[in-house]
Chains A and B, each alone.
Chain A
Amino acid sequence: MNRFLASGLGLSALLSLIAAAALADPVSVELTGHKFTPGELTVPANQKFQIKVTNHDDTPAEFESHDLKVEKIVVPGGTVTVTAGPLKPGTYQFFDDYHPDNAKGAVTAKE
């Protein structure tokens, strides 16, 4: 069981390395006062990309997007990276699920 688990983890680490190697640098977005800066991100269409989210508030946030199919908790002072795409050209909304009225932003995929 342990060997199985270890080889599974080894394999997954390898796969994530391969996945990470193929990706460009992540685009960054910061949460301050329950607002995203910048509120508009631009990413290349038709390829995977990553968004790095840093939470400068003193309460937890949940970076979420139904359009991008991502959902990830960001603790106070924490940073997470989410992977999404490839996207068709267009605009995709994201938000902080804990402050959905104020903390909103969008990703635009351009060719």
Chain B
Amino acid sequence: MLATLIIVFREVLEAGLIVGIVLAATEGVAGRGRWIAGGIAAGIAGAAILAGFAGALANAFSGNGQELFNAAILLVAVVMLTIHVTWMASHAGQMAQEMKALGRSVAAGDRSLSAMAMVVALAVLREGSEVVLFLYGIATSSGAGGLSMLTGGALGVAGGALVSWLLYRGLTAIPMRHLFKITNGMISLLAAGMAGQAAAILAGAGFLPSLGDEIWDTSGVLRDDSMVGRALHALIGYSDRPPGIQIIAFLGTLAALIVLHRLVVHRPRQARAHAQAATHAR
């Protein structure tokens, strides 16, 4: 049971950390509970369907289906996170003000919410399909201990959800005027990390040049498969032996997000006032 619990927990942890950050980043936005719950549900449904087609996916694109699919999921998530960061850049000040005035709920941000629901759905889909296949294997292999192993699986899911909740509660303990700055920073690192992972997957399958195979080796200090290594892998795309392309994709995405953020924040005052008026009129 314990072995099953640990295997499932590891898989759920990665998606759980992403959900925790998304929950904190959308704190106080009206209707976000529905959107994020919807994202999780869609991710689980998608994971079950994907698990059913795992064989077909593996054989697609001359055997590179899984790699291309995973990279595509990561890159779509990067786009969605970018939409959120830019949207927040133009609305964060206004949101913090409204939250002070109206309690903790603001009626804004459908566009950002749908992007964030998508991020949650993709994270759950990616990790979830592995959990579904693992649990399916347990359920179909006859023999003693099946029930105890499924219990372990359920506890693993619960453990992952707990980490997600703790991260969310920990982040929202930060005073409101700092919260969105911090979540925006975390989301930018998350997006850069995902872009790096996607580049590493594509380079591994031979679709991109690796531009150096092992830029550093920190496996003696912090291995990818340690719990801290896994958490950092999920949060910022940490790798103990990254190829050059992974570092370039990470830095390039981070730089692009910072530039984009600057452009939106320093947009002419008039345009922003106009956008605010439009939001208030709705």
A binding-site residues for B, Cβ under 8 Å:
9, 12-13, 15-16, 18-20, 48, 58-60, 62, 66-67, 69-70, 72-75, 78, 80-81, 83-86, 88, 97-98, 100-101
Chain B residues at the A interface, C-beta cutoff of 8 Å:
3, 7, 54-55, 58-59, 61-64, 66-68, 129-130, 133-134, 136-138, 140-141, 200, 204-207, 213-214, 219, 223-225, 239-241
In angstroms, Cα B136 to Cα A60, docked, is: 8
15 new A-B contacts at CB < 8 Å, known A16-B207, A62-B130, A69-B204 = A12-B68, A12-B207, A13-B62, A15-B207, A16-B64, A16-B205, A19-B206, A58-B140, A58-B141, A60-B137, A66-B240, A80-B58, A83-B205, A98-B7, A98-B134
Residues of A within 8 A of B62 (CB): 13, 16, 20
In the complex, are the beta carbons of B223 and A16 less than 8 A apart? no
Closest chain B CB from A80 CB (angstroms): 5
Is the beta-carbon distance between A69 and B61 smaller than 8 angstroms?
Answer: no
In the complex, the answer to whether A69 meets B239 with C-beta atoms within 8 Å is yes
16 residue pairs bridging A and B, Cβ less than 8 Å apart: A16-B206, A16-B207, A18-B206, A19-B205, A20-B206, A48-B206, A62-B133, A62-B134, A69-B241, A73-B58, A73-B130, A73-B133, A78-B58, A80-B58, A80-B63, A84-B204
Q: How far is the CA of A67 from the CA of B137 in the complex (A)?
A: 25
Query: Contact between B133 and A101 (Cβ–Cβ < 8 Å)?
Result: no
- Whether B58 and A75, one on each chain, are in contact in the complex, defined by CB atoms closer than 8 angstroms, is yes
Question: Which of B66, B68, B206 is close to A72, meaning CB atoms less than 8 Å apart?
Answer: B66
Chain A residue nearest to B53 (CB atoms) is A75
| Contact partners of A98 in chain B: CB under 8 A | 7, 133-134, 137
- Most B CB within 10 A of own CB, among A15, A60, A83: A60
User: Which 3 residue pairs spanning A and B have beta carbons closest together?
Assistant: A19-B206, A59-B137, A75-B55
- A-side contacts of B133, CB under 8 Å: 60, 62, 73, 98
Which residues on B sit within 8 Å (CB–CB) of A80?
58, 63, 66
Main secondary structure of the interface of B (DSSP, over half): helix
Q: Chain B contacts of A67 at CB under 8 A?
A: 219
Given the complex of chains A and B, what is the CA–CA distance between A13 and B207 in angstroms?
Answer: 9
A111 to B216 alpha-carbon distance, docked (Å): 21
Assembled-state Cα–Cα distance A68/B262 (Å): 39
Contact (Cβ within 8 A) A83 B206: yes
* Chain B residues positioned under 8 Å from A75 (CB to CB): 54-55, 58
Cβ-defined contact, B206 with A15, below 8 A? yes
Q: What residues of chain B lie closer than 8 Å to A84, measured between beta carbons?
A: 204
Interchain CB contact under 8 A, B61 and A12 = yes
Contact present for B58 and A74 (CB under 8 Å):
yes
In angstroms, Cα B136 to Cα A73, docked, is 13
A72–B94 Cα distance when bound, in Å, is 45
> In the bound complex, what is the Cα–Cα distance between A84 and B247 (angstroms)?
18
- Complex: how many Å from CA A102 to CA B137? 15
- Name B66's closest neighbour in chain A (CB-CB): A72
Nearest CB on A from B238, distance (A): 12
Please give, as numbers and ranges, the residues of chain A lying within 8 Å of B224 by CB-CB distance.
66
With a cutoff of 8 Å between Cβ atoms, the chain A residues found around residue B66 in the complex are 72-73, 80
Residues of B within 8 Å of A86, CB to CB, are 213
